[in-house]
């Protein structure tokens, strides 16, 4: 997961007071949530606040030489889209301090962005050798492969952001041929990832219900997540308006400009 770190008065002055936060803002409370969150953040790709007095130098040591979020820190998440500011309330609680959509945004962020990555990171059920992949032209997909199943959007987005950007997969009518030899499939099973859908041979799914397909898709995304690291990020094409910059300032935060992915 990649975030935009925001400069906060709480960190700069050490005066974070969370007493009323849970009453005023929507929150998620999970044991050891902050520890888990720090584990899934891919710090080398995160965006950082500028050094005070500079508009182009980024303070990559703002969270310390070994980056770590602490209570009082804040970040935005999601890349392209409306501004969402998440505050670290305590070791077990995060809250949505600002959103340009609705208070339900935190529920969506948790269910679609944060919780699935925690599950993939800490509870992987796959091994490195159980799946083999090959990038091929779709003309080589056998004609008997006629059944499509969509990858849930949130899961596809995690896979796309972590595994696809920067790699030469799925170019010019290409797909990924996947051979899965896990115990779950009971026999070597071949299927084709064509983007946000997976193409199956209906004979392989005979007698299997929807739960089997859902579990197989999750297992496939699990394997990718735990065997491929991020090598690039999607450029952030949404500029910050003066109004947003002003609002961030009023929260005791500084805005985080969007450096290119190649910036040192």
- Give me the residue spans of the domains in the chain: 3-123+234-254, 131-227
Question: Tokens at residue 70, please?
Answer: 């602490």
What's residue 235's pLDDT?
64
Residue in the block written with tokens 């394997």: 223
pLDDT in tens, the chain (264 residues): 999 999 888 777 777 788 878 888 899 999 999 999 999 999 999 999 988 887 778 899 999 999 999 999 999 886 555 678 899 999 999 999 888 776 568 888 999 999 999 999 999 988 888 999 999 999 999 999 999 999 999 999 999 999 999 999 999 899 999 999 988 888 899 999 998 999 999 999 998 888 999 999 999 999 999 999 999 887 654 444 444 454 455 455 554 433 333 332
Do residues 82 and 99 lie in contact, with contact meaning Cβ atoms separated by under 8 Å? yes
Total-model pTM: 0.84
Closest CA to 20 of 79, 75, 95: 95
Question: Tokens at residue 220, please?
Answer: 């496939």
DSSP letter, residue 165? T
SS3 state at 226 = helix
Closest CA to 76 of 211, 257, 216, 261: 257
Closest CA to 155 of 72, 220, 60, 74: 220
Residues 6+ apart with CB under 8 A from 202: 144, 146, 147
d(CA 176, CA 31): 38
d(CA 235, CA 219): 28
């Amino acid at each position: 997961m990649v975030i935009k770190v925001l400069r906060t008065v709480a960190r700069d002055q050490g005066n974070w007071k969370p007493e009323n936060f849970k009453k005023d803002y929507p929150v998620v409370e999970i044991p050891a949530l902050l520890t888990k969150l720090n584990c899934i953040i891919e710090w080398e790709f995160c965006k950082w606040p500028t050094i005070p007095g500079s508009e182009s130098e980024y303070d990559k040591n703002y969270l310390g030489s070994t980056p770590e979020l602490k209570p009082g820190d804040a970040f935005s998440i999601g890349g392209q889209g409306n501004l969402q500011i998440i505050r670290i309330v305590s070791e077990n609680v995060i809250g949505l301090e600002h959103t340009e959509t609705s208070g339900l945004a935190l529920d969506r962020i948790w269910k679609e962005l944060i919780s699935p990555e925690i599950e993939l990171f800490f509870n992987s059920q796959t091994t490195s050798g159980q799946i083999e992949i090959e990038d091929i032209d779709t003309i080589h997909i056998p004609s008997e492969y006629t059944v499509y199943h969509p990858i849930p959007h949130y899961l596809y987005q995690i896979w796309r952001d972590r595994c696809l950007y920067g790699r030469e997969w799925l170019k010019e009518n290409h797909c990924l041929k996947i051979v899965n030899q896990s115990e779950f499939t009971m026999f070597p099973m071949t299927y084709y990832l064509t983007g946000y859908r997976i193409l199956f041979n209906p004979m392989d799914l005979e007698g299997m219900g929807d739960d089997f397909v859902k579990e197989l898709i999750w297992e496939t995304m699990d394997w990718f997540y735990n065997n491929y690291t991020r090598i690039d990020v999607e450029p952030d094409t949404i500029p910050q308006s003066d109004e947003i910059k002003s609002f961030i300032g009023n929260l005791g935060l500084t805005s985080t400009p969007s450096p290119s992915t190649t910036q040192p």
